[in-house]
Amino acid sequence: MTDLERISGPRDLDEMTPEELDTLAADIRAFLVREVSRTGGHLGPNLGVVELTMALHRVFDSPSDTLVFDTGHQSYVHKILTGRSDFSALRVKDGLSGYPSRAESPHDVVENSHASTSLSWAEGIASGYRLRGEDRHVVAVIGDGALTGGMAWEALNNIASEKDLPLVIVVNDNERSYAPTIGGLADHLAMLRTNRQYEQVLDWGKDKLTRTPVVGRTAYQAFHSMKKGAKDFWAPQGMFEDLGIKYLGPVDGHDLGALEQALRRAKAFGGPVLVHCITQKGRGYDHAVDDVADQFHAVGKINPETGLPLEIAGRSWTDEFSDEMVALGAEREDVVAITAAMMMPVGLQPFADAYPHRIFDVGIAEQHATTMAAGLAYAGLHPVVAIYATFLNRAFDQLLMDCAMHRAGVTFVLDRSGVTGPDGASHHGMWDMSLAAIVPGLRLAAPRDGQQIRRAVREAVDLTDGPTVVRFPKGSVADPIEAVATHEGLDVLLGDPDVDPDVLVVSVGAMAGTSTTVAEKLAAEGLTTLVVDPRWVLPVPEALVALAARSGRVAVLEDNSVAGGVGSEVARALQDGGVGVPAHRFGLPKEFIQHASRGQVLEAVGLTPEPIVEELLRSR
């Protein structure tokens, strides 16, 4: 039996010798490379926290003590140590989640996988334990990248006032989130990480102390006054300690003994303590460190020997946006771009390379990015904010009050909209159109293919009197779907717009292929059909309402929540226009949808041609 096979729970670590623990760390890294290369997943972050996670479980008693992982993509080692080592179906339907999951284990607590939330969770949990008189510790593990989020600093401000709260904050400092961490915090941590000059000053002070005639308490005070001044100057951990949070570190995040010593001191302190750990993202796997570390933050299926992907899927939706941004940048000097620590994933790296002075990476701070964009628009520029669709949720107030109310010409490009698949409930981009629908003056485009992405982005940056949104899904882009005609600004994908249809199918974005298949199946049943793609789906075009008035019924297909989405807006527009035509809404159910492939999710929720056709036929 290998050391890894001996682990069925955290307490199995207690009796292991230092040599066995070192072997276990190596076994875990080999296991991660082997298993994640087969399924895809977050490889680099987990390789970097092997010893740290082992130390946490040796010092704290989970689940009695609560471990909260910020974002949670670095929880694979935690899963292994808590008895979940079957990674054969990682991030696959009915397999392990790629994030903490309460359904999997009592050791998992926070599963929302959005960054910068762990400190607020941890303060709430620790305060609750204290109020209930329970002697339990809470540990929040947060990366230096997640510390760039404003919510983390709101929490730190409050935690600092809780002098007796048994809360340990572990900063996993690998100089990266998805990409290298930026901003003043990154500079501060770099100072803590790299400056050792203060130790030389202290050595000098000790030497002077031994050779000076000052004795007793005066000598002690003189030395420690000099020591404090030196440390404040050379290693300004005072930023945390001045808040009232005890600072320990920096600690080598790959030295198990040093980690355990620091964590035991933090546990015994009796109040908030920040333990600063230095780790290496991708540790132990040469392909995943140094300059290419960010490429291994999250991987698809790869060859573990070479680190290269096994499948080349062709051009992605993101590639189409990326190329168009570079082209627009050459034509218009007023176009600038903003990203929230996701430069490469959202396709802005080529724009940054071409126009380095017109790109802003604000860290994990979507709220700040949105309001900053409103400011850039006021200053005469046209900002393009590129984020994942699920992260627009985090900046809704800023979208509503700072952009829309001020009629700011800001374009939001939402990558990974709709069903995203293996990342699960928190990463499906299924709420963006519902949120956008209630924002006055906002216009939203849902391109059906790569050509339409380029067209929509160009149209969006020409609009200056309010915010615009362009959203598209994850994965390989579909072949272009050419319109067979246009009708008052609507793209006709199938049918004759001059013939009043029995069923008007309104196709939203990537649902174009499904929409045309539905129409063809309905036609085979003897129904006259017409498929239109409004392209700009919010607000609902007047031409669509007029066309619906000539139809027997309307069916709206969208990969957004059926609650409050485009279908709901179409139904409302018909009602407001006095059009008494039934409107059938087909979208994602109002529930949190777990991880599975896009196809599996769409099939499970009935968003495929056959069940849609069956429902429409039943209601005729």
Structure tokens at 160: 């600092």
SS3 assignment for 211-249: CCCCCHHHHHHHHHHHHHHHHHHHCCCHHHHCCCCEEEE
3-class state of residue 388 by DSSP? strand
* Annotated binding residue 475: no
* Annotated binding residue 76: no
For tokens 């000053």, the residue is 201
* Annotated binding residue 483: no
* Annotated binding residue 524: no
Q: How far apart are CA 138 and CA 126, in angstroms?
A: 6
Longest dimension (CA), the chain: 107
Q: What does DSSP say about strands 66-69 and 246-252: parallel, antiparallel, or unpaired?
A: unpaired
CA distances from 161 to 135, 241, 270, 275, 460 (A): 20, 12, 14, 18, 46
DSSP string for 135-171: ---EEEEEETTGGGSHHHHHHHHHHTT-TT--EEEEE
Q: How far apart are CA 403 and CA 436, in angstroms?
A: 12
CB 172 within 8 A of CB 144: yes
Question: Which one of the listed residues 84, 91, 281, 521 is annotated catalytic?
Answer: 281
Nearest to 73 by CA among 99, 105, 108, 107: 99
- CA geometry: angle at 59 spanning 58 and 64, to 5°? 95
* Annotated binding residue 377: no
Query: Is-catalytic flag, 454?
Result: no
* Annotated binding residue 115: yes
Residues in the chain, overall count = 620
The C-alpha torsion from 423 through 425 and 428 to 434, rounded to 10°, is: -170
For residue 168, the one-letter residue type is V
Question: Which one of the listed residues 29, 394, 454, 471 is annotated catalytic?
Answer: 394
Q: How far apart are CA 539 and CA 452, in angstroms?
A: 18
Contacts of residue 272, defined as CB under 8 A and 6 or more positions apart, other chains included, come to: 159, 160, 162, 163, 165, 167, 168, 169, 244, 245, 246
Query: Is-catalytic flag, 366?
Result: yes
* Annotated binding residue 73: yes
Question: Which one of the listed residues 123, 366, 558, 569 is annotated catalytic?
Answer: 366
CB 245 within 8 A of CB 163: no
DSSP string for 60-113: S-TTTSEEEESSSTT-HHHHHHTT----TTTTSTTS--SS--TTT-TT------
Nearest to 452 by CA among 350, 559, 533: 533
Structure tokens at 330: 């050459």
* Annotated binding residue 146: yes
Contacts of residue 144, defined as CB under 8 A and 6 or more positions apart, other chains included, come to: 171, 172, 173, 174, 175, 176, 177, 181, 185, 186, 189
Q: In what helix (H) or strand (E) does residue 385 lie, and over which residues does it extend?
A: strand 382-388
Q: What does DSSP say about strands 273-278 and 335-339: parallel, antiparallel, or unpaired?
A: unpaired
CB 164 within 8 A of CB 197: no
Query: Is-catalytic flag, 394?
Result: yes
- Eight-state DSSP code of residue 515: H
| β-pair partners for 142 | 171
Burial (CB count <10 Å: 0-12, 13-18, 19+), residue 212: exposed
- Residues with a known catalytic role: 281, 366, 394
Q: Residues marked as binding? A: 73, 113-115, 144-146, 174, 285, 366
Q: Which residues are annotated as a binding site for thiamine diphosphate?
A: 73, 113-115, 145-146, 174, 285, 366
Binding-site residue set for Mg(2+): 144, 174
